[in-house]
A and B are shown apart, each in its own frame.
Chain A
């Protein structure tokens, strides 16, 4: 069982917006602004899409945005495109038994 809770799957039609949630505790997501989101296409390397809750690395589309409220972080993909179909993982700095925790991953399907 993963430390952070994500929905197993989220789907949407092209052009729509979807949001993936990532729920933790006050010892991780809720207590620190070091939440990141990774995109992983099948057989590929995870790619950081968001860091520090809402910052986008250079080169990442502005269609990806991150936010946080309490112990839950969220990744929103707007203007959904076929290339967005992938697995998405959240992670957070933590002060629990491990200094970083991951979510179990969310499979995004573009209908």
Chain B
């Protein structure tokens, strides 16, 4: 059973960089697309971006100039960085895996989510 676990600071100051890591267990990151999704309190889901295990990435245009997703195959994990954060970046951040071995936008395994609050 594939399991994903997000980790990182729960509080980030405005203008700083949010950094999260998603550790994957029970399976390899090879052969799949891995996404970050966020959900502001009381709101819907927003796709942030994905990385293929080979390193190719795709980001939501609304965040593209502030987001970087990278992967470390040796540690079987992938990471998210969002720079110049504001209060609008406060959200629960989830990592997830695409169901198919190709990009279909359908996420079958999700992490538990981690709340990141942007505040002084």
Contacts and interface: CB of A to CB of B under 8 A. Distances in A.
B44 to A, nearest CB: 5
Q: From B44, B45, B58, B103, name the one whose CB has the most chain A CB atoms within 10 angstroms.
A: B45
Contact of A89 (B44, B50, B105): B44
Interface residues of B, number: 21
The 3 closest A-B pairs by CB, nearest first: A100-B105, A36-B106, A93-B105
Given A48-B99, A102-B47, A34 B106 contact: yes
Contact of A99 (B50, B107, B108, B111): B50
A52 B106 contact: yes
Contacts, number: 64
B44 A48 contact: no
A36 B107 contact: yes
Interface of B: 35, 44-47, 50, 58, 60-61, 94, 99, 103-108, 110-113
**Mostly helix, strand, loop or mixed at chain B's interface?**
loop
Nearest to B111: A45
Contacts of B107: 36, 38, 46, 48, 91
Given A89-B45, A100-B47, A105-B44, A34 B105 contact: yes
Interface string A26-62: 0000000010101000000111100110000100000
